[in-house]
Amino acid sequence: MSVTVFPRRVRAPVRSQVRQIPVYITGTGAFLPRDPVGSDRMEDYIGIIDGCHSAMGRRALPWNGIERRHYALDTNGHWLHSNASMSADAVRLALKDAGLEPDDLDCLAATTMRGDRPAPDHAGAVHVELGGRTPDLANFQSVCASPLLAAKHAWMAVRGGQASSAAIVAGEFNSRWSRPTFHEAETPPDFLRFTLSDGAGAVIMQDAPRAEGLSLRVDWIDVTSLAGRFNERTCVGAGEDFAMPRSMIPAWIGAYLEKVDSGCVDPAHIDHLLWHYAARSLGDEIVAQLETTDAMIPRDRWFTTLAERGNVGSASIWIMLDDLMKSGKPRAGERIMCIVPESRRAALGMMMLEVVGPGQVLRP
């Protein structure tokens, strides 16, 4: 079956005459609460609605391909963490990986789909939990692509000389919104209850690579809004399955192909692809459509931990990157591409990284 994607536009890279400082990811961290929960015990934690086990939820499991996930509450629904505390723990782990302390941070950029409270901001709540001196704060609230919005803010701050070190963190506490005791009218559809889970991920950006171990030079970050191509119902309506995000796959692929056509991405020279997708069935559909183009990155270069870690919303890309770095697979000189689609407001975030050795400074 042939696939029609949105027209490919070629946009020339924007080049500045101002001197820009190379930026490196020098630390990664992921905090996943408690022991992993198997699919047979999910409703012990997220609860049973209207006294019946969920048939839709059970059908969602083969779709999403998730075998284990983590929850930040116990079987009685009691919170064992907050979103802010998990986010702060992820930052601490990333700081430790980079050999830094909270007092070393000049910038803290945080994101979440839903914070612990409607206000004030999630970034401030994370800073309260983290401690340390007063950094520049940036707060972003959206869905899966929001961590790359936060990353772009931090990247530009370090690149422009306004910060020498920055933490980017994303955290989610999805299970509490899935409990039947939480505002019955707001309980999400069962396919989301059986797909989303809890945790946080963070990365540290600095203006110099690590003295020991591998760093990741950040070559570019791009977040493209596609919301204008879809109506309000398509973007916001959740439905009861993955039909809504599936309908956006051609637009996501079209945005990716624009980067290929502009020369920013050479599929043949991507060594590790971290493409976040909400469910395995969506990942399979993305692959099937990409295989009809000339820009498919070989499947054996794709890296995912969806089955083992679950879908942790905005935190997923940092959890995945942390797992990749700790796997020992990346080698100096290799290129890592991160792609994060967002369906709720139709966007695509992309980030290009190059692995560098200890003390190795590469000019863009």
> Residue 242: which pLDDT band, with cuts at 50, 70 and 90?
low
Supply the pTM of this predicted model. 0.90
Reply yes or no: is the peptide bond before residue 120 cis, omega within 30 of 0. Answer: yes
Pair 361, 209: CB distance under 8 Å: yes
For the segment 126-153, what is each residue's pLDDT rounded down to a tens digit?
Answer: 999 999 988 999 999 877 889 999 999 9
* 3 confidence band (pLDDT: 50, 70, 90): very low
Residue type present at position 200: A
- Determine the 3-state secondary structure of 26 from DSSP: strand
Q: Cβ contacts of residue 226 below 8 Å, gap of 6+?
A: 248, 251, 252, 255, 346, 347, 348
Q: What is the pLDDT of residue 267?
A: 97
Number of H helices and E strands in the chain, helices first, is 13, 11
Q: What are 95's two structure tokens?
A: 């700081």
Convert the pLDDT of each residue in 245-299 to its tens digit: 888 899 999 999 999 999 999 999 999 999 999 899 999 999 999 999 999 999 9
pLDDT of residue 227: 82
Would you say residue 234 has pLDDT above 70?
no
Compute CA 311 distance to the chain's CA centroid, rounded to the nearest angstrom. Answer: 10
Neighbours of 84 (CB within 10 A): 26
Mapped onto helix, strand or coil, the DSSP state of residue 273 is strand
Asked if the model's pLDDT at residue 179 lies above 70, the reply is yes
pLDDT, position 329: 97
The pLDDT value recorded for residue 60 is 87
Can you give the pLDDT at residue 239?
47
pLDDT in tens, 76-111: 999 999 999 999 999 999 999 999 999 999 999 999
Percent of the chain with pLDDT over 90: 70
More confident residue, 10 or 210: 210
Residue range 176-191: mean pLDDT, rounded: 71
Average pLDDT, the chain: 89
